[in-house]
Structure 1
Amino acid sequence: MGNLDHQPDKGGIRGNARSATHLPTAQPAAKPSSNESSASSPITTSDTNPYKAAREALDRDGFVVLSASLFPSFDLDTLRAAASGITAAARSGQWPYIRTLPKQFPPWPQDASNGIWGVQHLLHPTNPEHITFAKTYFDSELLKYVSVLIGCCEDDLTMELYNMLVRPERDFSLRWHRDDMPATATAEEEEERLKKPAHHAQWNLALYDDSSLVLIPGSHVRARTDVERAADPYEAHMPGQITVKLKAGEVAFYNNNILHRGVYDSTKERMTLHGSIGTTQAGIQRARNVLQHGVGVWAKQLSFDDFEPEMAERAKMMRERLDEMGNMSGDVGYFAETE
Structure 2
Amino acid sequence: MSLLERLNRHGFVLVPKAFSGEQLETLRQATQEVTAYARDGKWPDVRTLPKQFPPWTSTGPNPASDGIWGVQGVMHPDMPHHDVFIRTYFADAIIEPTLQLLQCKRQDLVLELFNLLVRPDHDFELRWHRDDIAATASPEEELERLNKPAFSAQWNLALYDDASLVVVPGSHRRARTETERTADAFEKVLPDQLIVKMEPGDIVFYNNNILHRGVYDSRVERMTLHGSAGHVDGAKLRARNVLQHGLRTWIKDLNFDALDGEGRALAEHMRANLVKMGQEAGDVGYSLQE
Which bracket does the TM-score occupy, shorter chain normalised?
over 0.9
Query: Could you report, residue by residue, the CA deviation over 1:159-215 in whole angstroms, capped at 9, with x for unpaired residues?
Result: 000001110011100000000000011111111111000000000000000000001
Partner residue, 1:97: 45
Aligned AA (2:42): Q
Against the structure 1 CA distance between its residues 145 and 334, is the aligned structure 2 distance closer, same or farther, given a 3 Å change threshold?
same
Deviation at 1:73, TM superposition (A): 8.7
Sequence identity, in percent? 55
Query: Could you report, residue by residue, the CA deviation over 1:91-118 in whole angstroms, capped at 9, with x for unpaired residues?
Result: 1111111000010111102421110011
Q: After TM superposition, list the pairs within 5 Å mapping 1:226-245 onto structure 2.
A: 226-245=178-197
Partner residue, 1:164: 116
Partner residue, 1:55: 4
1:216 aligns with 2:168: yes
Query: Could you report, residue by residue, the CA deviation over 1:287-318 in whole angstroms, capped at 9, with x for unpaired residues?
Result: 11101100111010012123122211110110
2:177 alignment partner, one of 213, 217, 225: 225
Partner residue, 1:65: 14
Partner residue, 1:203: 155
Partner residue, 2:34: 86
Task: Please identify, of 254-263 and 73-82, the stretch whose mean Cα deviation from structure 2 is larger.
Answer: 73-82
Q: Which SS does the other structure have where 2:225 is aligned?
A: strand
Q: Distance in 2 between matches of 1:211 and 1:66?
A: 15
1:311 aligns with 2:263: yes
Task: Please identify, of 136-145 and 201-210, the stretch whose mean Cα deviation from structure 2 is larger.
Answer: 136-145
Structure 2 unmatched runs, 5+: none
Aligned AA (1:312): R
Q: Distance in 2 between matches of 1:225 and 1:127?
A: 43
Aligned AA (1:88): A
Q: Which SS does the other structure have where 2:236 is aligned?
A: coil
Query: Could you report, residue by residue, the CA deviation over 1:242-283 in whole angstroms, capped at 9, with x for unpaired residues?
Result: 100000000000000000000000000000000010010113
Q: Decide whether the 8 Å contact of 2:161 with 2:197 is kept in 1.
A: yes
Q: After TM superposition, list the pairs within 5 Å mapping 1:269-280 onto structure 2.
A: 269-280=221-232
Partner residue, 1:324: 276
The TM-score, its normalising length taken from structure 2, stands at: 0.96
Aligned AA (1:107): P
Q: Which SS does the other structure have where 2:148 is aligned?
A: coil
Q: Distance in 1 between matches of 2:105 and 2:164?
A: 32
Give the number of equivalent residue pairs. Answer: 286
Q: Decide whether the 8 Å contact of 2:86 with 2:256 is kept in 1.
A: no
Partner residue, 2:55: 107
Deviation at 1:141, TM superposition (A): 3.5
Q: Which SS does the other structure have where 2:110 is aligned?
A: strand
Partner residue, 1:21: none
Deviation at 1:74, TM superposition (A): 7.2
Q: Distance in 1 between matches of 2:22 and 2:49?
A: 30
1:183 aligns with 2:135: yes
Structure 1 unmatched runs, 5+: 1-51
Q: From the CA coordinates, give the structure whose radius of gyration is larger.
A: 1
Q: Decide whether the 8 Å contact of 1:71 with 1:142 is kept in 2.
A: no
The TM-score, its normalising length taken from structure 1, stands at: 0.82
